[in-house]
Copies of this chain bind each other. A is one copy, B any other.
Amino acid sequence: MNNYSVKKLSKLAGVSVRTLHLYDELGLLKPSVRTEARYRLYGDKELLRLQQILFYRELDFPLKDILAILEDPAFDLEQALEGHRKALLAKRERIDTLVGTIDKTLVTLKNNTMLQVEDLYEGIPNDKMEAYRAEAMAKWGKDTILSAEETLRSFSKDEMRALHAELNNINARLTVMMNTDPKSAPVQECIARRFKIILQLSGGKIEMGKLEYFRKLGELYVQDNRYTPVDGMPSMELAQFMKAAMDYYIETQGEK
């Protein structure tokens, strides 16, 4: 016959001492014996009973019900379990509804922050934009353009702003480094970073049609002053940057 102190029993069963105090107070689990100093001592029988209590507690039964189940042997456990099961299913259904509401809210939220097609061509006169779109579709395929637009729109406005800012920053750095060796590390770094951004804007997959589309779009952006062009470097040379970035990408990939 074992004797457990509160601490021992609590460790054995994985509950806190406070919990044992509470269960004692509620009459759910009384110690088999109290020492002269009113220390609680539990026996094996109590350990077993505690296991039962914890089983029902795991099932989210309120302690009151657990007491009823354990005290009254005529208690209709089956009915209690089935009632409980029903309650749990109702809870689950409610959660499903909540998740549905949240999903809907998230979609609404994203629609508000997501780029619209017009945002892509913001600042560019409407007729010019339409003409450009039609031309691009004819040149590189309608699907290519729609896919490119789709990818761009998958960014939130904040993300897009951040990418624009970084491109501007890179361009500025490149301006400063114009006369240094084009093979120097800093220049290569900028080119690589630039390429990564373009890769990201492409949706992770490089397609020549998309690259051409971005290059042309970049030119329009520069004309709209959305980008700071590299000083002394006509916007047409963006294509060269892209070419360099591509070369760099292929090189480094080849190394791996």
Q: A residues bordering B, Cβ < 8 Å?
A: 58-60, 77-78, 81-82, 84-85, 88-89, 91-92, 95-96, 98-99, 101-103, 105-106, 109-110
Contacts and interface: CB of A to CB of B under 8 A. Distances in A.
A77 B85 CA distance: 34
Contact of A98 (B88, B99, B101, B106): B88
Contacts of A58: 98, 101
Q: Can you tell how many copies of this chain the complex includes?
A: 2
A77 B91 CA distance: 25
Contacts of A88: 95, 98-99, 102
20 contacts: A58-B101, A59-B101, A60-B98, A78-B109, A81-B102, A81-B105, A81-B106, A81-B109, A85-B99, A85-B103, A85-B106, A88-B95, A88-B98, A88-B99, A88-B102, A89-B99, A92-B92, A92-B95, A92-B96, A95-B95
Nearest to A99: B88
The 9 A-B residue pairs with the shortest CB-CB distance in the complex, in nearest-first order: A92-B95, A85-B102, A88-B95, A81-B102, A88-B99, A59-B98, A81-B106, A78-B109, A88-B98
A144 to B, nearest CB: 30
Nearest to A84: B102
A60 B110 CA distance: 22
Contacts of A92: 92, 95-96, 99
A55 to B, nearest CB: 9
Contacts of A103: 85
Nearest to A156: B78
A222 B251 CA distance: 96
A96 B58 CA distance: 13
Contact of A106 (B60, B78, B96): B78
